[in-house]
Chains A and B, each alone.
Chain A
Amino acid sequence: MLRLCIIGASHVPALADGWARIAGEGGMEGVIPTFFTTSFDLMEVRSGVLTIASERHRSLFAENGATYEVQLNRQDAFVIAGVGRFKDIVTVYDHSRGESHAEPRPGKHVVSDACFEAAVLGLMREDRAGRFARMLRAATQAPIALTSVPMFRSGALTYPKLVRRLSPLREAGDEVPLAGLYRSMRQRLYGDDFTLVDQPPETLQSPAFTRDEYSIGTVPHKGRMLYDTVHMTGEYGALALRRCIDWARTSVAAQAPA
């Protein structure tokens, strides 16, 4: 039996949809997932219980039959989805270029790679999901894996609101170093206390972009459709969840007494 708790905000639904797809597959017997989904700001750990800080939200979750409490010691392993955003690197890259990056367009500042990395690290440290991960780490000895927000869908390269920010990555040929930096910064921030489970490589169109077919595409909001760049489908969720389950089996087995 493997009791796996998957925690996160808006990136958990894809994993839950993914579970619906793979639950009946061979090899999934004995896997008992629990999906705990709310805003990271609302999550808290009290007396060994992961719960929702707001009473109003707890009631709402209870009414809808969604999970609003998780007894930590009844789980074998945890996955926190959405820890780390490539967007943070894009934000810094949009402002400044590191010394090893391609020649920037006019208006961009040039800084040392050390400065660029410090800026990226600073933004990544502000990640609410990361702060929650540290809170959970302090509350349980069970293995915890972190998955990041998926890379932007490749269609975002032509999306008017994003093309100015994203297209230089590709045009300048800086995708590879930036994706590498992202990975190393995540490792630096979380590597000592967590396992980092990478985005399934088959879902990537390039080092910094996700294949469009895995994206949910749009989200309805007040009668119009908003263009979604980082939320993925159940198909993606299935691929990602398989990797998490493989990790959890290995980690739990390694922790089990001989």
Chain B
Amino acid sequence: MTSPYASLPPRNFWRSGVAGASVPTFPDIIHPRFDIARDMRIATAGSCFAQHVGRFLRSSGYNVIDAEPPPPGLTDEEAKRFGFNLYSARHGNIYTVRQLLQLTFEAFGRFAPGDSIWHRNGRYFDALRPTVEPEGLRSIEAVQRQRARHLRAFGRVLLDADLLVFTMGLVEAWVHQPSGTVYPTAPGVVADSDKPADIALHSFDFLEIRTDLLRFCAFMRRYNPKLRVLLTVSPVPLTATATDDHVLVATTYAKATLRAVAGRVRQELDYVDYFPSFEIIAGHPSRGRFYAPNLREVTPEGVACVMQHFGAAYGNGAAAEPAATPQPEEEEADEKVICDEVLLDAFAPRAASMA
């Protein structure tokens, strides 16, 4: 009788797939379920590692949606400080699947968050994305106005996208008990709630996260049947845990849970795929080489390695395509001509002109 392993490819064996590979390259580590074409409209969201994914996709010429672009004039650094140029909409980091689900439901009028506006030093903050305006806004109305526009933009992103790349980061979250609203930060970190006692820590388990992810996928596919989802798990460890566990134990639990959910949901839904950035960065074959000295932040080399694998699997090498040169608007073109014409006048001799 032939062993069922006998006909398997090298990628299925540790000796050839990992130990024999020239780590940190893992040939054939990804078997994509679907192609990612350059003209696909891609949305990105998730925890902070997702920013790297979005940046890579944009710089590689993929069609990444930006429904809330920054005002002209901001440098990239300034834009990021105000929550732009990070994801396809200006929602800041989405650390938990519940947060993604609630934001989606809210954008489609199915959820109304509780205690959604916090304050500090006389300024008001959107509690669901408190870092996008680092100094807050002047009034509750301004926050509401801004959020209403953000929700419309995020709803458009989900309806327009062919692919959502979502990076799962945390299982711990701070939850408003009366409404179930999940926040990306604890009260008191960026801004303050009027009723902090209503907000408590919750650690989502496998079943909750799986259910949330399935609900999100099912809900969105009703509105956008072409939407596919590419899941990743952030390799960035927790900065801190509010549970009783040691932060290393809490990190392992969180990542294991998220990784398990991603694997399970991939098995359940054929339009969901998983990209192993977590394995590439955090797996012991990489010997921690992709972490900064604090053993938390991922180095640029680590990001590059992940993206190299991504490009090899999905993007035919993902060579960057030159960005199109922006064409001036007709009004701008006229203005330049006018200035040139007026300038010509300066060539004429003038009585007062003298060196």
A118 CB, min distance to chain B CBs, angstroms: 5
Chain A facing B: main interface SS: mixed
Measured CA separation A118–B354 after assembly (Å): 41
Flag if A110 contacts B149 (CB, 8 Å): yes
Measured between beta carbons, the chain B residues less than 8 angstroms from A114 are 133-135
Known A-B contacts A38-B346, A231-B338; the reply to A99 vs B355 at CB < 8 A is: no
- Asked whether any CB of chain B lies closer than 8 Å to the CB of A9, the reply is yes
Flag if B334 contacts A227 (CB, 8 Å): yes
Measured between beta carbons, the chain A residues less than 8 angstroms from B288 are none
Interface string of B329-346 (1 = CB under 8 A from A): 011001101111111011
Of the listed stretches B138-146, B247-255, B317-325, chain A binds B138-146
Measured CA separation A19–B134 after assembly (Å): 50
Known A-B contacts A119-B73, A231-B338; the reply to A61 vs B347 at CB < 8 A is: yes
- Asked whether any CB of chain B lies closer than 8 Å to the CB of A23, the reply is yes
Flag if A112 contacts B136 (CB, 8 Å): yes
Measured CA separation A116–B21 after assembly (Å): 51
Count, chain A residues at interface, CB 8 A? 64
A184 CB, min distance to chain B CBs, angstroms: 15
- Asked whether any CB of chain B lies closer than 8 Å to the CB of A96, the reply is yes
- Asked whether any CB of chain B lies closer than 8 Å to the CB of A134, the reply is no
- Asked whether any CB of chain B lies closer than 8 Å to the CB of A121, the reply is yes
Flag if B346 contacts A37 (CB, 8 Å): yes
Residue pairs across A and B with CB atoms within 8 Å: the count is 146
Flag if A16 contacts B352 (CB, 8 Å): yes
Of the listed stretches B74-82, B95-103, B228-236, B308-316, chain A binds B74-82
Measured CA separation A78–B136 after assembly (Å): 42
Flag if B342 contacts A10 (CB, 8 Å): yes
Known A-B contacts A34-B353, A65-B353; the reply to A121 vs B342 at CB < 8 A is: no
Of the listed stretches B64-72, B173-181, B204-212, B213-221, chain A binds B64-72
One of B69, B72, B345, B354 near A123 (C-beta < 8 A): B72
- Asked whether any CB of chain A lies closer than 8 Å to the CB of B36, the reply is no
Q: Which residue of B lies closest to A161 (CB)?
A: B331
Measured between beta carbons, the chain B residues less than 8 angstroms from A37 are 343, 346
Flag if B353 contacts A35 (CB, 8 Å): yes
Contacts of B273-292 to chain A: CB distance below 8 A: none
Flag if A66 contacts B350 (CB, 8 Å): yes
Flag if B72 contacts A119 (CB, 8 Å): yes
B280 CB, min distance to chain A CBs, angstroms: 36
- Asked whether any CB of chain A lies closer than 8 Å to the CB of B348, the reply is yes
Measured CA separation A32–B351 after assembly (Å): 11
Known A-B contacts A112-B135, A161-B334, A220-B341; the reply to A66 vs B348 at CB < 8 A is: yes
- Asked whether any CB of chain B lies closer than 8 Å to the CB of A219, the reply is yes
Flag if B349 contacts A39 (CB, 8 Å): no
One of A32, A35, A39, A111 near B71 (C-beta < 8 A): A111
Measured CA separation A34–B354 after assembly (Å): 6
One of A10, A64, A71, A123 near B339 (C-beta < 8 A): A10
Interface string of A88-103 (1 = CB under 8 A from B): 1001100110011001
- Asked whether any CB of chain B lies closer than 8 Å to the CB of A70, the reply is yes
Q: Which residue of B lies closest to A23 (CB)?
A: B352
One of A12, A91, A112, A230 near B72 (C-beta < 8 A): A91
- Asked whether any CB of chain B lies closer than 8 Å to the CB of A13, the reply is yes
Flag if A122 contacts B78 (CB, 8 Å): yes
A56 CB, min distance to chain B CBs, angstroms: 12
Flag if B331 contacts A162 (CB, 8 Å): yes
Q: Which residue of A lies closest to B349 (CB)?
A: A65
Measured between beta carbons, the chain B residues less than 8 angstroms from A12 are 346
Additional pairs, 7, CB under 8 Å, beyond known A69-B355, A121-B73, A161-B334? A10-B338, A10-B343, A20-B352, A92-B72, A114-B135, A126-B73, A231-B342
